[in-house]
Amino acid sequence: MAIAAFGTVTEDVISGNVITGTIFDAEVLAASGTATSSAIDLNQFKARGYFGLQYTIAGSGTVKFEYQLSNNGVTFVEPAAAVDIGSSLTAGNGYLSFAPACARYIQIVATETGGANGVTITGVLAVQA
């Protein structure tokens, strides 16, 4: 169920390398639109809880990034205590760190929150293996 961009090798898992993968690649979000990344199987990383999202936003809309977790890879939910990865983000480049609760799978959700203008987003997720 892991996305191809997060293919790891044994050496990365053993060494604790930071693994990165593109989760949004010039994804177009219409006004009030939403995009959800593929599910990422965190079991392949033995994740240590260190996550980072580097993003680029183009356009005049506003973006919110959040995460959803799953233990079965089928039903994803936003944990009750979850805090948005980032909100009210506008055009430009940025980097956000976040610490999700323990789960087997994660997916990232991007939402255009301004309601009037669309955006194009690119996002690269980093996970400490």
Burial class of 30 by CB neighbour count within 10 A (0 to 12, 13 to 18, 19+): exposed
CA separation for the pair 127, 99 (Å, rounded): 10
So where are the chain's domains? 20-118
Low-confidence ranges of the chain (pLDDT < 70): 1-16, 45-48, 129
Predicted confidence at residue 20, as pLDDT, reads 86
Rg (CA), the chain: 14
CA separation for the pair 48, 109 (Å, rounded): 21
Write the CA distances from 114 to 64, 67, 87, integer angstroms.
10, 19, 11
Predicted confidence at residue 90, as pLDDT, reads 97
Structure tokens at 126: 């980093």
Predicted confidence at residue 5, as pLDDT, reads 46
Q: Are 66 and 33 in contact (CB under 8 A)?
A: no
Predicted confidence at residue 25, as pLDDT, reads 96
Can you give the length of the chain in residues? Answer: 129
Contact partners, residue 18, CB within 8 Å, separation at least 6: 50, 126, 127, 128, 129
Structure tokens at 3: 């996305």
Place of tokens 């191809």: 4
Predicted confidence at residue 129, as pLDDT, reads 66
* Chain segment 98-122, per-residue pLDDT in tens: 999 889 899 999 999 999 999 999 9
| Whole-prediction pTM | 0.87
